[in-house]
Amino acid sequence: MSDHRSSDHGEPAGQSDAASLKTGTDPLELIEQCLASFPEDDPRQKLLYKLRHAVLLSQAAYQQRELEFKKVSEVVAKLTAPANRIGTLLGLPGEGFARIVVGGAEYYTNVDPRVPESDLKIGTQILVNEAYAVIKTLGYDRNGPILKLTEAMPDGRLRFEQDMGRQSLILQRSTDLIGVDLTAGDEIRIDPSHHVAIEKLGDRKSSRHALDETPTVTWQQIGGQKEAIAAIRKAIEYPLLHAQTFERFKFAQPKGFLLYGPPGCGKTLIGQAAAGSLSKLVSESNHEQSSGADKRLPVTSGTFLHVKGPEILNMWLGESERMVRDLFEEARARRKSGALPFIFIDEAESILGTRRAMRSFNISNTLVPMFCSEMDGIESLRDVVIILASNRPDLIDPAVLRPGRIDRKIKVSRPDKDAAAQILKVYLTEDLPLDSVLVEERGGEHAYAVASLVEDVVESIFQRTADNRLLSIRLRSGQSKVLYRGDLVSGAILASIVQRAKEKAIDRTIQTGQPVGLLARDLLDSVSEEFREGEMLPPDDAAEEWLKLLDHHPEQVVGVSSFRHGRQTQERLVNQII
């Protein structure tokens, strides 16, 4: 019984009487002393055990209430405490001090020593207590106005011009902007208090025109156009790859090129191939010593800025001009980084059209001068290569096309029979599946069968037969001139013919469930379908413009009619302004 009481009470056996009679203030200690003083067979011990258990439960409940009360008190204290204000750090005038702005008012205040010094960056948001002491940093605000930089001042400050009627701003740089190269026109995000420039943003309008990599189109992928390709290669590659030779003759290197001609004849492909070929050649020349002594242009890569003319047009006054300016700034920036930028403007007549009288607003009246002034700031092809492409060069302002700006005008003509065959060979490759019967009929050789198919298609297009007649043009002299399919063929039409033939072969494969190949009939039927769908006559008042687009000058043309389904009598009159 003594051992049981000892383990029950947590007291050692044989405790002395003096220790058992020790007086304490804790109820449990008093109960323990009573239990120790009573004999083991005393019936009052049961009551004391029950009392001790009740006291233990009461103390446990009390401790739980104290813990819950403490938590509630902490929550109440947080909810009733005054809010900490948020400000912006403007500077660190001394150790332990900061210059801040809170709610539009500036303060010279203390900094909590527990705040890491590395976190105290100019422009970051800071937390201040009731005494306006900095107690915590919150990092840069992710929101704020975006302004166009006007000038990066020599002392590091930045100047911003705002809309008319609003004051200009001069702001200091954030810690992360110190040492960053900033130029006029950059988009900068500032803090909402308009005190600090926070970060430089990428120009999404100009960068969207830039391809991540230089085009991989090669000259071998362009069928025909030998004269145009030779002209542009000589004009672009020679001055850059043989700079000293041209310098010895004091040759003024050209700045820009115009590729013009009817639609679908490869102007865009030639521009891409020029960029890809030149960038590759010049980059290779930096790592190899040539046999001559020519000094090569230091270029590490190429950048192709492809702009479609209508993309620049914007309804807001001055926005189109800004986009042109930003485009050239993007090109110059990429040139400084070691890349040779190519600005390729497709449909150039849409933004560089002839200027008109100022009696009515015309976007060309402001876009053309802006483009010309930007081109005048380019010394030569050592800076930027400018290539314009247009179906209607007669609509481009003469100030753009004059020597000194666009120095070379290269015509991309419609393909003749030989050029058409070369284009078809690009799309009708030797690895295309042909029908086995066709291969046997053409001598049993796959390559020979493909070559004979190309000849069949070319002959079908360029035959001067009644079925191949498309248009009849009536001249002022009373004579009529007939235009055949071969007169209006283009690289895009030839590519579409091959595409249609492939669709027919794919459809037969799906319908029969057996792999089949191309047939000669697929290509010949595709020729008829392609030209039949393209036989559309313009309205009477647009016939003259339409003929120019087809690369036929309408000076002596008074009427246009079609041979389709007996429509030759439905002649369209050319606008009588000749």
Return the CATH number at 227: 3.40.50.300
Cβ 199 vs Cβ 121: under 8 Å: no
Residue 123 has pLDDT above 90, yes or no: yes
Structural domain total, the chain: 5
Using alpha carbons only, give the angle 488, 490, 495 rounded to the nearest 5 degrees.
135
Q: For residue 286, what pLDDT is reported?
A: 57
Which ranges constitute the DSSP H helices of 286-416?
309-312, 319-336, 364-376, 398-401
Looking at residue 16, the DSSP 8-state letter turns out to be -
pLDDT tens, residue by residue, 271-298: 888 877 776 776 665 555 444 444 444 5
Dihedral sign of CA atoms 111, 114, 117, 120 in order = negative
- Kindly state whether residues 19 and 157 are assigned to the same domain: no
Rounded Cα–Cα distance for residues 369 and 79 (Å):
64
104 domain-assigned:
yes
Choosing from 411, 431, 456, the residue where a domain stops is: 411
pLDDT tens, residue by residue, 17-26: 444 444 446 7
Structure tokens at 555: 């000076």
pLDDT tens, residue by residue, 438-495: 777 777 777 888 888 889 899 999 998 888 887 777 777 777 788 888 888 888 889 9
- Kindly state whether residues 476 and 373 are assigned to the same domain: no
Residue 566 has pLDDT above 70, yes or no: no
Amino acid at 150: T
- Kindly state whether residues 377 and 466 are assigned to the same domain: no
Choosing from 385, 411, 437, the residue where a domain stops is: 411
Cβ 279 vs Cβ 340: under 8 Å: yes
Most confidently modeled of 113-117, 320-324, 326-330, 379-383?
113-117
- Kindly state whether residues 277 and 339 are assigned to the same domain: yes
Buried b (16+ CB within 10 A) or exposed e, 140-168: bbeebeebebbebeeeeebebeeeeeeee
Nearest to 108, CA basis, from 130, 134, 127, 129: 134
Q: For residue 542, what pLDDT is reported?
A: 56
212 domain-assigned:
no
Nearest to 268, CA basis, from 346, 158, 364: 346
pLDDT tens, residue by residue, 167-192: 888 999 999 999 888 887 788 999 98
Cβ 139 vs Cβ 125: under 8 Å: yes
Tally of residues, the chain:
578
CATH code: domain of residue 436: 1.10.8.60
Query: CA-CA distances (angstroms) from residue 155 to 152, 174, 199?
Result: 8, 14, 18
pLDDT tens, residue by residue, 359-394: 445 666 778 888 888 888 765 545 678 889 988 888
Bridge partners, 235 (sequence order)? none
E strand spans, 436-550: 469-475, 480-484
- Kindly state whether residues 380 and 287 are assigned to the same domain: yes
SS3 199: strand
209 domain-assigned:
no
Nearest to 147, CA basis, from 167, 133, 128: 167
The reported pTM is: 0.64
Dihedral sign of CA atoms 295, 298, 301, 302 in order = negative
- Kindly state whether residues 476 and 501 are assigned to the same domain: yes
Rounded Cα–Cα distance for residues 429 and 72 (Å):
82
Task: Please state, for a pLDDT cut of 70, what percent of the chain lies above it.
Answer: 78
Structure tokens at 96: 């332990």
- Kindly state whether residues 245 and 386 are assigned to the same domain: yes
- Kindly state whether residues 423 and 394 are assigned to the same domain: no
483 domain-assigned:
yes
CATH code: domain of residue 194: 2.40.50.140
Q: For residue 208, what pLDDT is reported?
A: 53
- Kindly state whether residues 395 and 422 are assigned to the same domain: no
Buried b (16+ CB within 10 A) or exposed e, 365-392: ebbbebbbebbeebebbbbbbbbbbbbb
Range of the domain at 152: 146-202
Rounded Cα–Cα distance for residues 39 and 47 (Å):
14
207 domain-assigned:
no
Amino acid at 175: T
211 domain-assigned:
no
Most confidently modeled of 259-273, 305-319, 343-357, 534-548?
259-273
**Helix or strand run (H / E) with residue 449:** helix 446-462
Looking at residue 112, the DSSP 8-state letter turns out to be -
Q: For residue 571, what pLDDT is reported?
A: 52
210 domain-assigned:
no
Rounded Cα–Cα distance for residues 69 and 80 (Å):
16
Helices (runs of H) and strands (runs of E) counted in the chain: 19, 19
Structure tokens at 91: 């500077």
Cβ 348 vs Cβ 405: under 8 Å: no
Rounded Cα–Cα distance for residues 452 and 439 (Å):
10
- For residues 570 and 510, the model is more confident at 510
Q: Which residue has the tokens 């809170």?
A: 102
- Kindly state whether residues 89 and 66 are assigned to the same domain: no
542 domain-assigned:
yes
Angle subtended by helix axes 364-376 and 319-336, to nearest 10: 20
Structure tokens at 10: 């947590």
Rounded Cα–Cα distance for residues 161 and 131 (Å):
37
Rounded Cα–Cα distance for residues 295 and 382 (Å):
12
| Pairing of β 572-573 and β 557-562 | antiparallel
Cβ 228 vs Cβ 259: under 8 Å: yes
Nearest to 374, CA basis, from 405, 401, 396: 405
Q: For residue 297, what pLDDT is reported?
A: 44
- Kindly state whether residues 395 and 484 are assigned to the same domain: no
Dihedral sign of CA atoms 128, 134, 138, 140 in order = positive
Q: Using CA atoms of 212, 218, 221, 225 in order, give the dihedral in degrees to the nearest 10.
A: 120
pLDDT tens, residue by residue, 231-272: 888 877 777 677 788 888 888 777 788 999 888 888 888 888
Choosing from 389, 411, 433, the residue where a domain stops is: 411
Rounded Cα–Cα distance for residues 323 and 327 (Å):
6
SS3 486: helix
- Kindly state whether residues 64 and 102 are assigned to the same domain: no
